[in-house]
Amino acid sequence: MILLKKDSEIAKMRESGRIVARTLRLLSEAIVPGKTTTGDLDALAHRIITEEGGVPSFLGYRGDYPASTCISVNEVVIHGIPGPRVLNPGDIVDIDVGVYKDGFHADSAWTYPVDTIAPNAQRLLNVTREALMQGIAKARVGARVGEVSSTIQRYVERNGYSVVRELLGHGIGRDLHEAPNVPNYGRPGQGPVLKAGATICIEPMVNEGTAKIVTLPDGWTVVTADGKLSAHFEHTVAVTSDGPELLTVE
Ligand code: MF3
Ligand code: CO
Protein backbone atom coordinates (compact mmCIF):
# COMPACT_ATOMS: atom_id res chain seq x y z
CA MET A 1 0.00 0.00 0.00
CA ILE A 2 1.35 3.43 -0.95
CA LEU A 3 1.20 5.74 2.06
CA LEU A 4 0.11 9.19 0.87
CA LYS A 5 1.59 12.14 2.74
CA LYS A 6 -0.25 15.26 3.88
CA ASP A 7 1.21 18.67 3.04
CA SER A 8 2.55 18.97 6.59
CA GLU A 9 4.38 15.65 6.18
CA ILE A 10 5.81 16.64 2.81
CA ALA A 11 7.09 19.82 4.47
CA LYS A 12 9.06 17.64 6.90
CA MET A 13 10.46 15.60 4.03
CA ARG A 14 11.46 18.84 2.32
CA GLU A 15 13.57 19.70 5.39
CA SER A 16 15.20 16.24 5.45
CA GLY A 17 15.75 16.61 1.70
CA ARG A 18 17.37 20.01 2.09
CA ILE A 19 19.90 18.50 4.48
CA VAL A 20 20.59 15.65 2.05
CA ALA A 21 21.20 18.11 -0.80
CA ARG A 22 23.44 20.32 1.34
CA THR A 23 25.44 17.29 2.47
CA LEU A 24 25.97 16.11 -1.10
CA ARG A 25 27.09 19.57 -2.18
CA LEU A 26 29.51 20.04 0.71
CA LEU A 27 30.99 16.55 0.20
CA SER A 28 31.49 17.10 -3.51
CA GLU A 29 33.22 20.43 -2.78
CA ALA A 30 35.48 18.76 -0.18
CA ILE A 31 37.06 16.28 -2.61
CA VAL A 32 40.79 16.89 -3.09
CA PRO A 33 41.83 14.58 -5.97
CA GLY A 34 44.63 12.21 -4.96
CA LYS A 35 44.13 12.95 -1.26
CA THR A 36 40.54 12.64 0.03
CA THR A 37 39.36 9.15 0.97
CA THR A 38 35.79 7.88 0.89
CA GLY A 39 36.07 7.51 4.67
CA ASP A 40 36.92 11.23 4.97
CA LEU A 41 33.73 12.08 3.08
CA ASP A 42 31.66 9.79 5.28
CA ALA A 43 32.98 11.41 8.45
CA LEU A 44 32.17 14.84 7.04
CA ALA A 45 28.64 13.70 6.12
CA HIS A 46 28.03 12.43 9.64
CA ARG A 47 29.13 15.80 11.05
CA ILE A 48 26.97 17.87 8.68
CA ILE A 49 23.85 15.76 9.16
CA THR A 50 24.19 15.74 12.93
CA GLU A 51 24.81 19.50 13.09
CA GLU A 52 21.59 19.98 11.13
CA GLY A 53 19.67 17.98 13.74
CA GLY A 54 19.25 14.93 11.54
CA VAL A 55 20.24 11.29 11.77
CA PRO A 56 21.97 9.44 8.89
CA SER A 57 19.29 7.07 7.52
CA PHE A 58 21.75 4.39 6.41
CA LEU A 59 23.79 4.01 9.62
CA GLY A 60 22.82 0.65 11.15
CA TYR A 61 20.46 -0.16 8.28
CA ARG A 62 19.48 -3.85 8.13
CA GLY A 63 21.15 -4.15 11.52
CA ASP A 64 24.71 -3.75 10.30
CA TYR A 65 25.35 -1.07 7.65
CA PRO A 66 28.48 0.53 9.15
CA ALA A 67 28.47 4.07 7.71
CA SER A 68 26.41 7.23 7.18
CA THR A 69 26.75 7.21 3.40
CA CYS A 70 27.30 4.80 0.55
CA ILE A 71 30.21 5.82 -1.67
CA SER A 72 30.66 3.83 -4.85
CA VAL A 73 33.69 4.44 -7.08
CA ASN A 74 33.95 3.51 -10.79
CA GLU A 75 32.84 -0.15 -11.22
CA VAL A 76 31.06 -0.10 -7.85
CA VAL A 77 27.36 0.21 -8.68
CA ILE A 78 25.94 0.97 -5.25
CA HIS A 79 26.36 0.38 -1.49
CA GLY A 80 30.11 0.97 -1.47
CA ILE A 81 31.26 1.15 2.16
CA PRO A 82 33.37 4.25 2.85
CA GLY A 83 36.95 3.51 3.92
CA PRO A 84 40.61 4.13 3.04
CA ARG A 85 40.14 4.33 -0.74
CA VAL A 86 41.62 7.55 -2.12
CA LEU A 87 39.68 9.41 -4.81
CA ASN A 88 41.97 9.89 -7.79
CA PRO A 89 41.73 12.08 -10.89
CA GLY A 90 39.61 10.29 -13.50
CA ASP A 91 37.43 8.45 -10.97
CA ILE A 92 33.67 8.78 -10.90
CA VAL A 93 32.22 8.70 -7.41
CA ASP A 94 28.59 8.00 -6.49
CA ILE A 95 27.73 9.57 -3.14
CA ASP A 96 24.43 8.34 -1.68
CA VAL A 97 23.01 10.13 1.37
CA GLY A 98 19.87 9.59 3.46
CA VAL A 99 18.69 11.83 6.30
CA TYR A 100 16.02 11.18 8.93
CA LYS A 101 14.61 14.19 10.76
CA ASP A 102 11.34 14.87 12.59
CA GLY A 103 9.96 11.45 11.65
CA PHE A 104 10.72 11.46 7.92
CA HIS A 105 13.49 10.33 5.58
CA ALA A 106 14.85 11.76 2.34
CA ASP A 107 17.40 10.05 0.10
CA SER A 108 19.47 11.23 -2.85
CA ALA A 109 22.59 10.23 -4.77
CA TRP A 110 24.78 11.92 -7.32
CA THR A 111 27.77 10.67 -9.30
CA TYR A 112 30.56 13.25 -9.44
CA PRO A 113 33.63 13.39 -11.68
CA VAL A 114 36.93 13.57 -9.78
CA ASP A 115 39.06 16.16 -11.60
CA THR A 116 39.19 15.42 -15.35
CA ILE A 117 37.48 12.21 -16.46
CA ALA A 118 37.49 10.29 -19.75
CA PRO A 119 34.86 11.20 -22.38
CA ASN A 120 33.17 7.79 -22.01
CA ALA A 121 32.79 8.35 -18.27
CA GLN A 122 31.37 11.85 -18.77
CA ARG A 123 28.85 10.52 -21.29
CA LEU A 124 27.74 7.82 -18.82
CA LEU A 125 27.14 10.51 -16.18
CA ASN A 126 25.19 12.69 -18.62
CA VAL A 127 22.96 9.84 -19.77
CA THR A 128 22.25 8.56 -16.25
CA ARG A 129 21.39 12.04 -14.94
CA GLU A 130 19.14 12.70 -17.92
CA ALA A 131 17.44 9.29 -17.45
CA LEU A 132 16.61 10.31 -13.87
CA MET A 133 15.23 13.67 -14.99
CA GLN A 134 13.08 12.10 -17.73
CA GLY A 135 11.75 9.56 -15.23
CA ILE A 136 10.94 12.29 -12.71
CA ALA A 137 8.93 14.16 -15.36
CA LYS A 138 6.60 11.12 -15.60
CA ALA A 139 5.88 11.06 -11.85
CA ARG A 140 2.51 12.77 -12.18
CA VAL A 141 -0.90 12.21 -10.61
CA GLY A 142 -2.69 9.42 -12.49
CA ALA A 143 0.44 7.95 -14.07
CA ARG A 144 1.51 4.38 -13.37
CA VAL A 145 4.96 3.69 -11.92
CA GLY A 146 5.64 1.79 -15.16
CA GLU A 147 5.65 5.08 -17.06
CA VAL A 148 8.57 6.25 -14.94
CA SER A 149 10.32 2.88 -15.25
CA SER A 150 9.88 2.45 -18.99
CA THR A 151 10.95 6.02 -19.74
CA ILE A 152 14.22 5.48 -17.85
CA GLN A 153 14.89 2.14 -19.55
CA ARG A 154 14.14 3.44 -23.03
CA TYR A 155 16.41 6.47 -22.65
CA VAL A 156 19.30 4.43 -21.20
CA GLU A 157 19.15 1.65 -23.78
CA ARG A 158 18.74 4.07 -26.69
CA ASN A 159 22.07 5.50 -25.58
CA GLY A 160 23.76 2.09 -25.60
CA TYR A 161 23.90 1.44 -21.85
CA SER A 162 22.15 -1.08 -19.59
CA VAL A 163 19.99 -0.70 -16.48
CA VAL A 164 20.58 -2.77 -13.37
CA ARG A 165 17.51 -4.95 -12.67
CA GLU A 166 18.10 -6.29 -9.17
CA LEU A 167 18.11 -2.91 -7.41
CA LEU A 168 15.06 -0.68 -7.39
CA GLY A 169 13.83 2.77 -6.50
CA HIS A 170 11.27 2.88 -3.73
CA GLY A 171 8.62 4.74 -1.82
CA ILE A 172 9.94 6.74 1.16
CA GLY A 173 8.52 8.51 4.19
CA ARG A 174 8.47 7.40 7.82
CA ASP A 175 10.48 4.41 6.53
CA LEU A 176 13.49 4.63 4.22
CA HIS A 177 11.96 1.96 2.02
CA GLU A 178 8.19 1.92 1.50
CA ALA A 179 5.87 0.76 -1.27
CA PRO A 180 5.91 1.04 -4.22
CA ASN A 181 8.94 -0.49 -5.91
CA VAL A 182 10.22 1.80 -8.66
CA PRO A 183 12.16 -0.37 -11.14
CA ASN A 184 14.34 1.20 -13.80
CA TYR A 185 12.85 -1.04 -16.48
CA GLY A 186 9.37 -2.13 -17.47
CA ARG A 187 6.34 -1.18 -19.51
CA PRO A 188 4.10 1.90 -19.20
CA GLY A 189 0.98 -0.02 -18.13
CA GLN A 190 2.70 -1.75 -15.22
CA GLY A 191 2.72 -0.90 -11.54
CA PRO A 192 0.41 1.07 -9.28
CA VAL A 193 -1.16 4.42 -10.15
CA LEU A 194 0.50 7.43 -8.49
CA LYS A 195 -1.74 9.72 -6.45
CA ALA A 196 -1.11 13.15 -4.96
CA GLY A 197 0.95 12.74 -1.80
CA ALA A 198 2.98 9.76 -3.00
CA THR A 199 6.68 10.24 -2.21
CA ILE A 200 9.15 8.11 -4.14
CA CYS A 201 12.87 7.71 -4.75
CA ILE A 202 13.72 7.38 -8.41
CA GLU A 203 17.27 6.07 -8.79
CA PRO A 204 18.57 4.70 -12.07
CA MET A 205 21.75 2.63 -11.83
CA VAL A 206 23.27 2.53 -15.30
CA ASN A 207 26.12 0.35 -16.51
CA GLU A 208 28.48 1.02 -19.39
CA GLY A 209 28.63 -2.69 -20.24
CA THR A 210 26.65 -5.67 -19.00
CA ALA A 211 23.67 -5.16 -16.69
CA LYS A 212 24.96 -8.06 -14.59
CA ILE A 213 26.16 -7.32 -11.08
CA VAL A 214 27.99 -9.15 -8.30
CA THR A 215 27.79 -8.54 -4.54
CA LEU A 216 31.19 -8.71 -2.83
CA PRO A 217 31.78 -10.90 0.27
CA ASP A 218 31.28 -7.88 2.59
CA GLY A 219 27.58 -8.37 1.86
CA TRP A 220 27.07 -4.79 0.66
CA THR A 221 29.35 -3.65 -2.14
CA VAL A 222 27.72 -4.24 -5.52
CA VAL A 223 30.03 -4.17 -8.57
CA THR A 224 29.54 -4.61 -12.30
CA ALA A 225 30.19 -8.20 -13.39
CA ASP A 226 32.47 -7.01 -16.22
CA GLY A 227 34.38 -4.37 -14.23
CA LYS A 228 33.15 -1.54 -16.45
CA LEU A 229 31.82 1.75 -15.08
CA SER A 230 28.46 2.31 -13.41
CA ALA A 231 26.66 5.53 -12.48
CA HIS A 232 23.76 6.31 -10.13
CA PHE A 233 21.60 9.39 -9.64
CA GLU A 234 18.69 9.60 -7.22
CA HIS A 235 16.15 12.15 -6.02
CA THR A 236 13.28 11.97 -3.57
CA VAL A 237 10.19 13.23 -5.40
CA ALA A 238 6.70 14.19 -4.18
CA VAL A 239 3.83 13.59 -6.58
CA THR A 240 1.58 16.67 -6.33
CA SER A 241 -1.38 18.11 -8.24
CA ASP A 242 1.10 20.70 -9.56
CA GLY A 243 3.42 17.97 -10.90
CA PRO A 244 6.53 16.30 -9.49
CA GLU A 245 8.35 18.23 -6.76
CA LEU A 246 12.01 17.51 -6.02
CA LEU A 247 12.44 17.24 -2.25
CA THR A 248 16.20 16.66 -2.22
CA VAL A 249 17.21 20.17 -3.24
CA GLU A 250 18.54 23.19 -1.30
N1 MF3 B 1 19.84 4.92 -1.81
C2 MF3 B 1 19.96 3.55 -1.35
C3 MF3 B 1 18.58 3.00 -1.13
O4 MF3 B 1 17.67 3.70 -1.22
C5 MF3 B 1 20.83 3.48 -0.19
C6 MF3 B 1 20.57 2.47 0.83
S7 MF3 B 1 21.96 2.22 1.75
C8 MF3 B 1 21.57 1.28 3.04
O9 MF3 B 1 18.36 1.87 -0.95
F10 MF3 B 1 22.61 1.15 3.75
F11 MF3 B 1 20.66 1.89 3.73
F12 MF3 B 1 21.12 0.13 2.61
CO1 CO C 1 17.19 5.13 -2.37
| Domains annotated on the chain, with CATH | 7-246 (3.90.230.10)
Ligand 1 pocket mutation, candidates 46, 78, 200, criterion most atoms within 8 A of CB = 78
Q: What angle do CA 146, 148, 151 make, to 5 degrees?
A: 100
The HSE-up count of residue 230 (CA atoms within 13 Å, CB side) is 32
112 close to ligand 1 (CB < 6 Angstrom): no
96 close to ligand 1 (CB < 6 Angstrom): yes
Could you tell me if residue 233 is left (phi over 0), alpha (psi between -120 and 50 degrees) or otherwise beta? beta
Closest atom, ligand 1, to C-alpha of 108: 1
Does the CA dihedral 34-40-41-42 come out positive or negative?
A: positive
Residue with CA closest to ligand 1 atom 11:
58
Which pLDDT belongs to residue 29? 98
CB neighbours of residue 51 within 10 Å: 9
Mode of pairing for the β-strands spanning 76-78 and 222-224: antiparallel
Among candidate residues 174, 38, 39, the one with its CA nearest the CA of residue 106: 174
Which pLDDT belongs to residue 192? 98
Residue type, 41: L
8 Å CB contact between 223 and 75: yes
Which pLDDT belongs to residue 70? 99
Which pLDDT belongs to residue 238? 99
Beta strand extents in the chain (DSSP E only): 55-56, 69-73, 76-78, 92-101, 104-113, 162-163, 169-171, 178-182, 199-202, 205-207, 213-215, 222-224, 230-232, 235-240, 243-246
Say which ligand is closest to the CA of 70.
1
Residue with CA closest to ligand 1 atom 10:
58
Which pLDDT belongs to residue 126? 99
9 close to ligand 1 (CB < 6 Angstrom): no
Which pLDDT belongs to residue 182? 98
81 close to ligand 1 (CB < 6 Angstrom): no
8 Å CB contact between 101 and 216: no
* Residue 200, strand partner residues: 171, 237
Per-residue pLDDT of the chain (250 residues; tens, 9 = 90+): 999 999 999 999 999 999 999 999 999 999 999 999 999 999 999 999 999 999 999 999 999 999 999 999 999 999 999 999 999 999 999 999 999 999 999 999 999 999 999 999 999 999 999 999 999 999 999 999 999 999 999 999 999 999 999 999 999 999 999 999 999 999 999 999 999 999 999 999 999 999 999 999 999 999 999 999 999 999 999 999 999 999 999 9
Helices (H), 58-174: 119-137, 145-158
Among candidate residues 48, 42, 59, the one with its CA nearest the CA of residue 20: 48
Which pLDDT belongs to residue 145? 98
CA of 32 to the centre of ligand 2 (A): 26
